Amino acid sequence: MKEAINLLYKRRSIRKFTPQTVTEEQIETLLRAAMAAPMSNHKYLSELIVVTDRAMLDQLAETHRYTKMLKEATLCMIVCGEKANRAWEQDCAAATQNILLAATGLGLGSVWLGIHPNPDSVATVRGLLDIPDTYSPLCLIAIGYPAEYKDPSDRFDLARVHRGRW
């Protein structure tokens, strides 16, 4: 139990990666973690796109000014939701968090790169990856072996906790 809690603190946004590639076994573990996330309606599950092609990673790195680290990452996962699901953003966020935590547990670095609700970024990613109009990408996740280390984070602030009411 304590190991799971420590993983929450250990997970940090990593933006520098080594050239070492993520294995297929690790990719499957990340996908399984995403699909284990809670979903609001089991009819609409998140869809995932896995990109390892260097040319496509470089194109995705140009999606907007905060995606440049994809030029170093060896893996990008794109989490998409079906827009007919009124809670698709929450479902995709839960899947994304599971991917980030699983990556940390595997010794990988990762960073959540939000593209929704920016219509230009969403359109660019949709066009690059042939995402159907009925789905929307929530985010890109840059993943790879970390080339930087960050101390565990503890942002606990009791002053931000309200009991019973605000």
Does residue 24 belong to any structural domain of this protein?
Answer: yes
* The predicted structure's pLDDT at residue 133: 96
* The predicted structure's pLDDT at residue 42: 76
* The predicted structure's pLDDT at residue 44: 72
Does residue 156 belong to any structural domain of this protein?
Answer: no
Does residue 102 belong to any structural domain of this protein?
Answer: yes
Does residue 153 belong to any structural domain of this protein?
Answer: no
- Tens-place pLDDT, residues 114-164: 999 999 999 999 999 999 999 999 999 999 999 999 999 889 999 999 999
Task: Specify the DSSP element, H or E, that contains 3.
Answer: helix 2-10
Asked if 45 and 79 count as a contact pair (C-beta separation under 8 A), the reply is no
Domain count, the chain: 1
Asked if 98 and 29 count as a contact pair (C-beta separation under 8 A), the reply is no
Q: Could you give the CA distance from residue 79 to residue 49 in angstroms, rounded to a whole number?
A: 7
- 31: which 2 tokens? 């996908």
Does residue 53 belong to any structural domain of this protein?
Answer: yes
Does residue 124 belong to any structural domain of this protein?
Answer: yes
Structural domain for 76, as ranges = 9-146
CATH code where residue 31 lies: 3.40.109.10
- 162: which 2 tokens? 């309200």
Does residue 61 belong to any structural domain of this protein?
Answer: yes
Does residue 151 belong to any structural domain of this protein?
Answer: no
Task: Kindly give the pairing relationship between strand 135-144 and strand 75-82.
Answer: antiparallel
- The residue-averaged pLDDT of 16-36 equals 97
- Tens-place pLDDT, residues 30-41: 999 999 999 997
The CA-atom distances, in angstroms, between 12 and each of 22, 29, 39 are 18, 19, 24
- Tens-place pLDDT, residues 67-115: 999 999 999 999 999 999 999 999 999 999 999 999 999 999 999 999 9
pTM for the full predicted model: 0.95
